[in-house]
Amino acid sequence: MASTPIEVCAKTSVTLPNRLGDCPFTQRVLLTLEEKHLPYDLKLVDLSNKPDWFFSISPEGKVPVAKLDDKWIADSDVITQTVEQKYPDPSLVTPPEKASVGSKIFSTFIGFLKSKDPNDGTEQALLNELSAFNDYIKDNGPFINGKDVSAADLSLGPKLYHLEIALGHYKKWSVPDSLPHLKTYMKTVFSLDSFVKTTPLTEDIIEGWRPKVEG
């Protein structure tokens, strides 16, 4: 067990003071720490006005960064893998053959969100990815690795949460009822204690995606 809390730098909310902001990659790291019952200490950073101390630990000025073994580590992939190696119990390892399940959903979501042309195929591309995931979960669920939550769910869950809120707000679009297993999966993941505890504000997610939509 980690006795001293793991320091994690995260984006601060743009709508409420001293609240966690809307980064899905940071939430993935926090979910990993929550699921492993590891204490952590959040350092909230205003990404529109980054303090000098932040650049000394994150030269690219990006979140999340976490301090493990007295070293600051960037990138949610690297952070979560390092945490898994250092604190293997309970295991969150996703078997390699399942690790990429749902991995194209986020990029197709962004493509559709940014799209200005309803006939450019971006909606269909997203629906194809969501349908494939729906079929996979139907036969393999309730989680990506069967009955237990694993790293793949903690990566995908925050992205699906952003998808639901951003597409609902900007496109008046929601996951179709023809994908019931995906909808159940989203409900299950979003209601995990760890998820509820680390969920960003809806308003922050909407504001966070605004530049992509209006840009």
Mean pLDDT of the chain: 97
Strands 65-68 and 6-11: antiparallel
Residue 117, Cβ neighbours under 10 Å: how many? Answer: 7
d(CA 188, CA 179): 15
Count of all residues that appear for the chain in the document: 215
Residue 87 has pLDDT above 90, yes or no: yes
Q: How many beta carbons lie within 10 A of that of residue 170, not counting itself?
A: 17
Give yes or no for residue 62 having a pLDDT over 80.
Answer: yes
Is residue 3 over pLDDT 90?
no
| d(C-alpha 102, C-alpha 2), whole Å | 31
For 70-80, what is each residue's pLDDT tens digit? 999 999 999 99
- Of 190, 96, 94, 195, nearest in space to 150 by CA: 94
Whether the per-residue pLDDT at 162 is higher than 70: the answer is yes
Residue ranges, CATH 1.20.1050.10, the chain: 105-214
Q: Which residues lie below 8 Å from residue 206, measured CB to CB, with a gap of 6+?
A: 165, 166, 169, 170
Which range among 2-6, 110-114, 124-128 shows the weakest confidence by mean pLDDT? 2-6
Question: Annotated catalytic residue: which of 8, 23, 126, 179?
Answer: 23
Q: What is the mean pLDDT of residues 3-16?
A: 94
Per DSSP, helices labelled H in the chain are 24-35, 52-57, 76-86, 105-114, 122-140, 151-171, 180-190, 193-198, 202-214
- The answer to whether residue 9 is catalytic is no
Burial of residue 182, with CB atoms counted within 10 A of its CB: 0-12 exposed, 13-18 middle, 19 or more buried = buried
* Residue ranges of the chain that CATH labels 3.40.30.10: 6-86
Per-residue pLDDT at 215: 79
Burial of 96 (0-12, 13-18, 19+ CB in 10 A): exposed
Q: How confident is the model at residue 2 (pLDDT cuts 50, 70, 90)?
A: low
pLDDT digits (tens, 9 = 90+) for 36-60: 999 999 999 999 999 999 999 999 9
Helix (H, G, I), strand (E, B), or coil: what is residue 9? strand
Q: How many CA atoms lie within 13 A of 88 on its CB side?
A: 1
Handedness of CA 16, 17, 19, 25 (dihedral sign): positive
Angle at 163 between CA 101 and CA 123, to 5 degrees: 80
CATH of domain 105-214: 1.20.1050.10
Average pLDDT over residues 131-135: 98
Average pLDDT over residues 135-159: 98
Q: Which CATH class is domain 6-86?
A: alpha beta
How far is residue 211's CA from residue 181's CA, in Å, rounded to a whole number?
32
Residue 1 scores a pLDDT above 70 = no
